[in-house]
Copies of this chain bind each other. A is one copy, B any other.
Amino acid sequence: MNVQVPNLNHPELQDQIVGRLERVEELLFQQVQGSGELVDPLTKHLVSAGGKRMRPLLVMICGLLGETPDEEALIRAAASVELTHLATLYHDDVMDSAPQRRGVPSAQIEWGNNRAILAGDVLFARASRLTAQLGTEAVDYHAKTFERLCLGQLNETFGPAEGQDKVEFYLQVLADKTGSLVASAAYFGALYSGSSEEIQSAVSTYAERVGVAFQIADDILDLVSPGEVSGKTPGTDLREGVDTLPVLLLRARAARGEGDNEDARILDALAEDLSSDVALSRVVEMLVNNRVIDETRKLARKAIDHALEALEPLPQSEAKDMLVQFAELTIDRAV
């Protein structure tokens, strides 16, 4: 199995991590097969399409923190977290009617909505079976994480309550729907390396904040990344009427009566039909040149700084270095 891991500047540990991640890949592929030649291509679809495997990598970095690593448990936990992530992607792509995922047609484009929903369910069942091998606490933690993740997505569909701060609500949704599963990766890594509860808790907090930063960076990339890199047209979220963080910040400023003429022009443009590429690229360009992009970058930076603060209880170590770098890499692409 070929595993691509960003350089984390500690070659020896890096080799150990790569070795463990190769075994995670093997286990992942094993978990999405065995149900016949019609079903297997569907359940294998997203695993085969690749992906950054950011969550398994985080399990393995945190797996270096304790003195008594249980390699089998680390590998199972990493595969379970990634399978859970993939299960949610099957359902997300149905819910968003997404045409593509990881550069290949999404499952519901190739197999239809019903099979994509069922494939997500099957992957979640298999993730549960893997965690069952780790013990009841792992199962409860895993199920609790999945529950929080789904509730985050549900809350997102309902929107903030009357009078609730929209930016705060948005950041909470990111913590629930993305941060929670990233946090579970760090938690399992620390747990199965034999770290103390204090360390388990510290890296969970760190990872939840890194997950939030990652999503904020995604909001920036939706606007600034060239289509060839992201595989998406810049501004796709805007076209779908999703209020990403830059737009929320703009609206918040307008609501406070602090918006200028340029801000008003952007908000007007957002309310128009953005189905033509000309209209979309015009509003994207205005947004990219607006100060909200810098504000958004600052919020990503703040989330990362906040994540690094959570690492304070960890004594200096190469693994801690790697966690710092992992956090920086998360937003590097966008800031």
A residues touching B (Cβ–Cβ < 8 Å)? 35-36, 38-39, 42, 91, 94-95, 112-115, 117-119, 121-122, 124-126, 128-129, 131-133, 135-137, 139-140, 142-144, 146-147, 150-151, 153-155, 157-158
Contact = CB atoms under 8 A, between A and B. Distances in A.
Given A129-B139, A132-B139, 12 more contacts: A35-B151, A39-B151, A91-B117, A94-B113, A95-B117, A118-B153, A122-B147, A122-B154, A125-B147, A129-B140, A129-B144, A132-B137
Contact of A143 (B36, B113, B132): B132
19 contacts: A35-B154, A39-B154, A39-B158, A91-B118, A95-B117, A95-B118, A117-B117, A119-B154, A121-B124, A122-B154, A124-B124, A125-B146, A128-B128, A128-B142, A129-B147, A132-B136, A132-B139, A136-B139, A139-B139
**Mostly helix, strand, loop or mixed at chain A's interface?**
helix
A139 B124 CA distance: 13
A115 B157 CA distance: 8
A147 B32 CA distance: 12
Contact of A39 (B124, B143, B155): B155
A154 B91 contact: no
A243 to B, nearest CB: 17
Contact of A147 (B36, B112, B126): B126
Nearest to A36: B155
A94 B119 CA distance: 15
A70 to B, nearest CB: 16
A276 B150 CA distance: 40
A151 B122 contact: yes
A154 B42 contact: yes
A73 B140 CA distance: 16
Given A42-B154, A132-B136, A94 B117 contact: yes
Given A39-B155, A115-B157, A157-B115, A132 B140 contact: yes
Nearest to A88: B121
A150 B121 contact: yes
Contact of A115 (B129, B135, B143, B154): B154
Contacts of A119: 154
Nearest to A146: B125
Contacts of A129: 139-140, 143-144, 147
A125 B154 contact: no
A95 B94 CA distance: 11
A22 to B, nearest CB: 26
Given A122-B147, A132-B143, A135-B136, A157 B114 contact: yes
Contact of A95 (B91, B114, B124, B139): B114
